[in-house]
Chains A and B, each alone.
Chain A
């Protein structure tokens, strides 16, 4: 989603090749959606077109994987602008989890909705344990811990919501199907 800005951020410390950017991305954002090499080059291409990065050093002819890129002044300004913009805190409740529970309640009976909630809770709990193990590993880097923490906090919030909703599902069903 913000891959262009991540790449700009990684270039802020100095010029890098595409494969170095990919490696730095994976190291600093260990639990992010995987970033393909193709995506790195495609994004660099767009950033170059928009004047936010420029090829640094030569070997241009040798292809994109031999080219190092550097941040331009405009690129730095774009990055600063992005970093100083506060994200709107959850303007919409946009989660498939939430939507699915609502739809389950619309089309099915209470038991069906409850069964879904319980199964979802088990899946969330399994993932929460997995991440807790990753985090508690003495060999984990702080990048690992911070990323796992982010996921844990969100899963924990989902689980609290799942619990509360399990307790409310019968009343809620009556409201939806008067």
Chain B
């Protein structure tokens, strides 16, 4: 069933067009890779889908309701509950420990402190960084921070995770460990993932792939917008 829907999404930054009419459906629990050359609009699309940016034209709907028209407060509520976001550089809060960072989305959603801490520790454990619980980001390596950020993005068990080059700053092996675990857990809890990447080997974790080119979905056969035989399901 389609959960997230974009229809003819257009977005420019001043005179620079970034998206020129993108249409896209994301169904429950599926993993969609968004690929394409630098500057083609991948990040802009992700931000529009996640309600971080407002499209200039077109529609974005979540479970049949337009979200592009919602107020900033309503959209950020959505991001706290139904959506999770993860960027290339984890963007942990520098003043908070790993456990506090991971617990934060739960606290914001109204979960009690003790319960939030327990969940945070469980999620740190799942990404193999339980021993970092009481360290601050400044005391961790980039790879360790990214594991914590991934745990934070999944702790609320969102219905969709928006991930923009989540392993882009990591070495091959570390990136792979983080991604394998992310995909495994997302599949377990039926979290859909929109995975922006420019690497074929990362896109290969997805069920299907959408190729963007100059702000449009490429329909020349480049995008493999159908689940392939032997796909990762």
Interface residues of A (CB under 8 A from B): 115, 118-119, 121-122, 124-133, 136, 138, 152-153, 155-156, 159-160, 163, 166-167
Residues on the B chain within 8 Å of A163, using CB: 37, 200
* Interface: B77 (CB within 8 A): no
Interface residues of B in 45-75 (CB under 8 A from A): none
Within 8 A of A (CB), among B209-231: 209, 220-222, 224, 228-231
Q: A128-B201, A132-B201, A156-B199 are in contact. Are A118 and B224 (CB under 8 A)?
A: no
Q: Does B205 contact A (CB under 8 A)?
A: yes
CB within 8 A of B201: which of A118, A152, A166?
A152
Q: Are A136 and B232 CB-contacts (below 8 A) given A122-B221, A122-B224, A128-B204?
A: yes
**Which residues of B sit under 8 angstroms from A133, Cβ to Cβ?**
230-232
A130 and chain B: residue at smallest CB distance: B230
Q: Are B201 and A129 in contact (CB under 8 A)?
A: no
Q: Which residue of A131, A136, A167 is within 8 Å of B183 (Cβ)?
A: A136
Tell me if B7 counts as interface (CB < 8 A to partner A). no
A155, B200: Cβ atoms under 8 Å? yes
A147 to chain B, nearest CB (A): 15
CB <8 Å contact, B180 and A156: no
| Chain B residues near A (Cβ < 8 Å) | 37, 180, 183-184, 199-201, 203-205, 209, 220-222, 224, 228-232
- Select which of A119, A121, A132, A160 is within 8 A of B204 by beta carbon: A132
Assess the B184–A121 pair: CB atoms within 8 A: no
B36 — nearest CB in chain A belongs to which residue? A163
**Could you name 13 residue pairs across A and B whose Cβ atoms are closer than 8 Å?**
A119-B221, A122-B221, A125-B200, A126-B228, A128-B200, A129-B231, A129-B232, A132-B204, A152-B201, A156-B199, A160-B200, A163-B37, A166-B222
Inter-subunit contact B228/A129 (CB<8 Å): yes
- The smallest C-beta distance from A169 to any residue of chain B, in angstroms, reads 12
Contact call A132/B224, Cβ cutoff below 8 A: no
| B residues less than 8 Å from A122 (CB atoms) | 221, 224
Q: Is B200 in contact with A118, judged by CB distance below 8 angstroms?
A: no
With A126-B228, A131-B204 known, 7 other A-B pairs at CB within 8 A are A118-B221, A119-B221, A125-B224, A136-B184, A156-B200, A156-B201, A163-B37
In the assembled complex, which residues on chain B have CB atoms less than 8 Å from the CB atom of A125?
200, 203-204, 209, 224, 228
Separation of A3 and B96 alpha carbons in the complex (Å): 57
In the complex, how many angstroms separate the beta carbon of A46 from the nearest chain B beta carbon?
38
Chain A residue with the shortest CB-CB distance to B209:
A125
> Of residues B200, B205, B221, which shows the largest number of chain A Cβ atoms within 10 Å of its Cβ?
B200
Residues of A within 8 A of B232 (CB): 129, 132-133, 136
* In the bound complex, CA of A159 to CA of B35 (Å): 13
A112 to chain B, nearest CB (A): 14
Query: Which of chain A's residues have a CB closer than 8 A to the CB of B180?
Result: 136
**Once the chains are docked, how many angstroms separate the CA of A129 from the CA of B184?**
15
- Chain B residues with CB under 8 Å of A121's CB are 222
A162: shortest Cβ distance to chain B, in Å? 9
The smallest beta-carbon distance between B2 and chain A, in angstroms, is: 23
- In Å, the complex CA distance between A118 and B221 comes to 7
List residues of chain A with CB within 8 A of the CB of B228.
125-126, 129
**Chain A residues closer than 8 Å to B221, beta-carbon distance:** 115, 118-119, 122
